[in-house]
Structure 1
Amino acid sequence: MMNKLYIGNLSPAVTAEDLRQLFGDRKLPLAGQVLLKSGYAFVDYPDQNWAIRAIETLSGKVELHGKIMEVDYSVSKKLRSRRIQIRNIPPHLQWEVLDGLLAQYGTVENVEQVNTDTETAVVNVTYATREEAKIAIEKLSGHQFENYSFKISYIPDEEFVGAIIGKEGLTIKNITKQTQSRVDIHRKENSGAAEKPVTIHATPEGTSEACRMILEIMQKEADETKLAEEIPLKILAHNGLVGRLIGKEGRNLKKIEHETGTKITISSLQDLSIYNPERTITVKGTVEACASAEIEIMKKLREAFENDMLAVNQQANLIPGLNLSALGIFSTGLSVLPPPAGPRGAPPAPPYHPFATHSGYFSSLYPPHQFSPFPHHHSYPEQEIVNLFIPTQAVGAIIGKKGAHIKQLARFAGASIKIAPAEGPDVSERMVIITGPPEAQFKAQGRIFGKLKEENFFNPKEEVKLEAHIRVPSSTAGRVIGKGGKTVNELQNLTSAEVIVPRDQTPDENEEVIVRIIGHFFASQTAQRKIREIVQQVKQQEQKYPQGVASQRSK
């Protein structure tokens, strides 16, 4: 989730590139887009610490084309909140003194210190009402304590979050009771962010009912805070499902729009990033219309999801009894995001609107989370060796401090995991040797792919794709290729991994050759299992017809 910053007092001559350059020069690089308007702009930071650093470093201190720029959290006057941030607090100021100071202006519900790398302290303060926050800002702005002058700003609010939770949590308890659902509001991990995801765990009917109730609460809250516009609904879905929701030439979406009286838009592929691997489906209309559209949209997404699951289960012949959620690399459920805020006193925020329900359908790894354990097929008791190639600079993250991470990974997966020595000083990739049965391979490789995504070793718009090598008996290589390359082509189409069986390899001392597999985690796993299956079949045939198999091999 993002901390949206407002950059004001800009000369008309300023370009987005100027801002990128300026932020970059001060070691505050901008990852997302710069939304430039006339005289002001918006930028996003994924992390509150960076946002604070940008405000501290730039606001009132930097001149661009003759004008001193202002930088602050982007909060519209309409959405002025109960939450404020106080910066530049003397590091030795005692909490009791600060608490006493804050209490003069109203009831303080919460004070949390933000861990930043500034020498002075930063706190986020939540007052009981907007009015109290407003008075505190007016009275405390520039408040001198010794030689320090407090700097204060509103934080983009969780207004709707408060309304959804209700006094002492009564509203949310009522929603969960009525809809037989579990509702999680992710406040902590998105501290200071403009939108908060709310995950709803329930049956499809329960989810839709909870979603409708939350929409109604938000609309009521918006009416009371004099927000003119209707509250849109946002549904986040993995890109792998969105195509089927849209349908050929947009037919499915047009049909839903027509039947529910809503306007539906889908975010562009360019907006996909490491913080948001999903596309945003924005639904505009009355609460009633949005709730009806949610039912239809989720129906289509579930259908696409179930078809994918069926395909994986039928084709992958994967591992008996493996519970994917245990891997910790998949998220679940349907979620709801309350609103972002607009810039201070400037025209309303960019077209980025309050509220979303977010189907956290998949984490950044494809496909989804709600895997039932894989159906029982053959058991493969024997150990397998897979060589997985990772970027050289990621080796430290995989090993961890004093080898802690790699040991923990090996224990978790039940596999032996070793990193081969570098073959030269400047190699871009290193080989990870994973030895263990199929389930251990799956868990170890899954965690390694997940770790590389988490640690940002791939840029935001990339899937994590790695190369894996497995060895097969040279006598079966022809069968993996198939007549005229037929089998290998089918394999590639089925799994969407690239499968390469180099033809001119000299078999090793065990009469084995390498098959190279390149793709994202599931593609790679499916290809590995299919190839092992072909090898098994050939072995069984060789046992039954020791003389006849050679003639079936492709030349």
Structure 2
Amino acid sequence: SADSTHPGAMGGRQGSHELPLRLLVPTQFVGAIIGKEGLTIKNITKQTQSKVDIHRKENMGASEKAITIHSTPDGCSHACKMILEVMEKEAADTKTADEVPLKILAHNSLVGRLIGKEGRNLKKMEQDTGTKITISPLQDLTLYNQERTIMIRGGVEECCNAEVEIMKKLREAYENDVAALNLQASLIPGLNLSALGISSGLPVLSPAGAPHRGSSHHAAYNPFLVRPLPAPPPQEVVYLFIPTQAVGALIGKKGQHIKELARYAGASIKIAPSDNPDAPERMVIITGLPEAQFKAQGRIFGKLKEDNFFNAKEEVKLEAHIKVPAAAAGRVIGKGGKTVNELQNLTSAEVIVPRDQTPDENDEVFVKIIGHFFASQTAQRKIREIIQQVKHQEQKSQHGAATASQHTK
């Protein structure tokens, strides 16, 4: 739970779509930032028209605490400067530190664009602002903590100028993602994004350990909701093919990583035994509701990219198979391949319904989907939707036939 200060006069433009500014500050300075009877922080919120949450009750015993500032970009920068000035003064008065670096927390998915190709953006920011900027390594991330720490060293003025540039880049990346996800939400009917934890931000794990979920201060990521589904959909099975050499990394030491992933996603994740040890790919069988599929597959795609099983410049593309009733396969293809072509154009995934398949014991056949994560997800949702329509029509025609036979009796 966060200690929330009074929100001041909150900037008018500021809505839930603004990316908050998240700072990491040494625990010993938290008292000075709050001030006697909360006066210092009240003054900061009032002057900068922002809402400032100091998460001091979290991560008991941790040497640093997070602070979340909700305001307009100017309001965030103003509050950041005031907090940095308080810390500098406190450090000088107590002689606890020679310099106080500014630490900004940012969601890992935004950091790549901040760094830029071959670190160009970051180098330019350092030159323009006269600061030294370092970013915490990927290895520090866990399933629960997806934030990286951006450390800025320099004078107060220089650090504050760097904050403006850094947040400008992060906000731009964030807004692009929100727009892309809104588009995905409209393209992926029936995907309940609030159930993915997308609306409330990814859970954050403190350095001290336990994840704390659901509080408003997380790098509140992807802030939009889709209406919940009326009835729980059936469990889905997806067969995802990953490079054989990535199997060990996915399983982790003593199976830790795959267990943690299954728990996080709420899905069953099994690696199929291989008939051929030299096969370049292994099949991962994922069973779970649509939300669990989204989370599990998303993390697997991310893991392969992070662990460099793919060239850093390429988007990770994987092949996934889903089974569809043999009776619905024709509908997935459409007249003269019309539906499958539309699917490919819409999702930018390759969708293949292999011909001459013998249906299995459940009278089902495979559909292959090849593409990057969102393309694959969108195609999976669209194909499941076609299957639902076919089932619905069959039920209606059976019901119609039953009614007709009653009338003829």
- 1:514 is the counterpart of 2:366: yes
**Alpha-carbon separation, structure 1, partners of 2:31 and 2:189:** 44
Aligned partner of 1:387 among 225, 233, 237: 237
**Alpha-carbon separation, structure 2, partners of 1:165 and 1:466:** 52
Aligned twin of 2:121 = 252
| Alignment-mate amino acid for residue 46 of structure 2 | K
Cα deviation, residue 393, structure 1: 9.3
- 1:310 is the counterpart of 2:160: no
The residue correspondences of 1:458-477 to structure 2 (distance < 5 A) are 469=322, 471=324, 473-477=328-332
Aligned twin of 1:261 = 130
The C-alpha deviation readout for 1:316-351, integer Å capped at 9, x for no partner, is 534679874565455559x9x99xxxxxxxxxxxxx
Cα separation, partners in 2 of 1:398 and 1:314, compared to 1, 3 Å? closer
Structure 1 runs not aligned, ≥5 long: 1-155, 339-358, 363-367, 410-416, 435-440, 540-555
The residue correspondences of 1:516-535 to structure 2 (distance < 5 A) are 525-532=377-384
Cα separation, partners in 2 of 1:382 and 1:168, compared to 1, 3 Å? closer
Aligned partner of 2:222 among 360, 369, 382: 369
User: What is the SS of the residue equivalent to 2:103?
Assistant: strand
Cα separation, partners in 2 of 1:448 and 1:252, compared to 1, 3 Å? closer
**Alpha-carbon separation, structure 2, partners of 1:214 and 1:481:** 64
Cα deviation, residue 219, structure 1: 1.3
The residue correspondences of 1:83-102 to structure 2 (distance < 5 A) are none
C-alpha RMSD over aligned residues: 5.4
**Alpha-carbon separation, structure 2, partners of 1:269 and 1:293:** 22
Aligned partner of 1:282 among 151, 175, 179: 151
**Alpha-carbon separation, structure 2, partners of 1:202 and 1:321:** 33
Residues 320 and 373, structure 1, Cα contact 8 Å, conserved in 2: no
Cα separation, partners in 2 of 1:508 and 1:446, compared to 1, 3 Å? same
Cα separation, partners in 2 of 1:208 and 1:398, compared to 1, 3 Å? closer
Cα deviation, residue 158, structure 1: 1.7
Cα separation, partners in 2 of 1:301 and 1:393, compared to 1, 3 Å? closer
Cα separation, partners in 2 of 1:311 and 1:181, compared to 1, 3 Å? same
User: What is the SS of the residue equivalent to 1:159?
Assistant: helix
Cα separation, partners in 2 of 1:309 and 1:282, compared to 1, 3 Å? same
Residues 445 and 521, structure 1, Cα contact 8 Å, conserved in 2: no
Name the count of aligned residue pairs.
318
**Alpha-carbon separation, structure 2, partners of 1:449 and 1:243:** 20
Taking structure 1 as the reference length, the TM-score comes to: 0.44
**Alpha-carbon separation, structure 1, partners of 2:386 and 2:28:** 58
**Alpha-carbon separation, structure 1, partners of 2:257 and 2:153:** 43
Taking structure 2 as the reference length, the TM-score comes to: 0.57
- 1:179 is the counterpart of 2:48: yes
- 1:202 is the counterpart of 2:71: yes
Cα separation, partners in 2 of 1:535 and 1:316, compared to 1, 3 Å? farther
Aligned twin of 1:42 = none
**Alpha-carbon separation, structure 2, partners of 1:260 and 1:393:** 43
- 1:241 is the counterpart of 2:94: no
Residues 386 and 470, structure 1, Cα contact 8 Å, conserved in 2: no
The C-alpha deviation readout for 1:489-522, integer Å capped at 9, x for no partner, is 8788x57xx9775555323588652336699986
Cα separation, partners in 2 of 1:304 and 1:169, compared to 1, 3 Å? same
The C-alpha deviation readout for 1:260-286, integer Å capped at 9, x for no partner, is 222222333344334542333221221
| Alignment-mate amino acid for residue 31 of structure 2 | G
| Alignment-mate amino acid for residue 528 of structure 1 | Q
Q: Which has the higher helix share?
A: 2
**Alpha-carbon separation, structure 1, partners of 2:261 and 2:130:** 51
Residues 52 and 70, structure 2, Cα contact 8 Å, conserved in 1: yes
**Alpha-carbon separation, structure 2, partners of 1:284 and 1:395:** 38
The residue correspondences of 1:531-550 to structure 2 (distance < 5 A) are 531-532=383-384
User: What is the SS of the residue equivalent to 2:68?
Assistant: strand
Cα separation, partners in 2 of 1:513 and 1:266, compared to 1, 3 Å? same
Aligned twin of 1:193 = 62
Residues 222 and 231, structure 1, Cα contact 8 Å, conserved in 2: yes
Cα deviation, residue 289, structure 1: 1.6
Cα deviation, residue 189, structure 1: 3.0
Residues 317 and 529, structure 1, Cα contact 8 Å, conserved in 2: no
Structure 2 runs not aligned, ≥5 long: 1-24, 208-216, 241-250, 274-282, 309-317, 392-409
User: What is the SS of the residue equivalent to 1:174?
Assistant: helix
Aligned twin of 1:229 = 98
Cα deviation, residue 214, structure 1: 1.4
Aligned twin of 2:15 = none
Query: Which is higher, the Rg of structure 1 or of structure 2?
Result: 1
| Alignment-mate amino acid for residue 236 of structure 2 | V
Residues 242 and 301, structure 1, Cα contact 8 Å, conserved in 2: yes
User: What is the SS of the residue equivalent to 1:231?
Assistant: coil
Cα deviation, residue 159, structure 1: 0.6
**Alpha-carbon separation, structure 1, partners of 2:105 and 2:73:** 16
**Alpha-carbon separation, structure 2, partners of 1:279 and 1:480:** 49
